[in-house]
Structure 1
C-alpha cells in the first residue's frame, strides 16, 4: 500500500512516479533510508515544497536512521506525515475501498491510525492551499517515489 492508497483516501489522482521539475502537493515514499534519500533529491527538484507522506512498510514503523534523515528533510517540505502500516490490508480484497471511505465514515478500529495520518495530510494541504491563495498561486497534483526515479 502506498501512493495509490493515499490518493484514494484523499480522493485525488495518483500522478505516478515523480520525474522532477513539476510541482506536487504530496510526495510519497516508503519508510526506508533509501526511499527517503530519493525523496530528498526529488524535493530539491520541486519548484515549491510538497508534503512528504512516508508510508510505513512494516508494523515497526520508521527506524532511527530513517527518522534522522526525515528530520534533515523537515525544513524543505510543508510537513511530514508518517502513514502507518495497516496489517489487516494484507488479508483483504478491498483495501482501496476501506481507504476511500476513511474520511467519510467512522472507520474500523484497525484504520484509526491511518485515518489520523490522512487527516494530518489534509491539514497540511489546506494550510498550503491557504498560503497559495494568499499568493494567488494554484496547487499542483502529487506523485510517488515508490520506484527509484532518482539515482
Structure 2
C-alpha cells in the first residue's frame, strides 16, 4: 500500500529527484523517472494558480511535524518547458508538503485506496499519476481545500 521510503531518508533532510509546486500555502511533491512528466504537471498546476517551489530537484527536511520543501539555490525560480526551454518564474520559497504525486505509478481504480509514503521520516498522502484531463485540477483543488477520503 505505501511506497518504500526514498533512499537516504532521515530527519536531517535530503535532495530528491522531484518537482514541487504550492497553492494556498500547501505543496505537492511530484516525483517520477526522467521524462515521466514532472515538469509538465508542475507547469499545468502553475497555470491553475500554483507557485513554483522547485523543478527536477527538491530539498526536503523536517520542521517539527511538517516536511518542508524548497529549491536548491542553483535552480531556484527556473523550470524546464520541453520544446521551449528554461522559464524563469517567481520562486515560492519553502513550503510545507501536503501531498506526494508518484508519476511512476498509475491510478487505474476509479476510487483508489488511500496511500501514503514516508519522506524524511514523516507519512504523507500519496496519489499515483493519472492520464485523465482533470488530474491537474484535482491536485490543485486538493492543495486548496482537501482531504482525501
User: What is the TM-score normalised by the length of structure 2?
Assistant: 0.27
The structure, 1 or 2, with the larger RCO (C-alpha pairs under 8 Å, 6+ apart) is 1
Task: Write 1 or 2 for the structure with the bigger share of helix.
Answer: 1
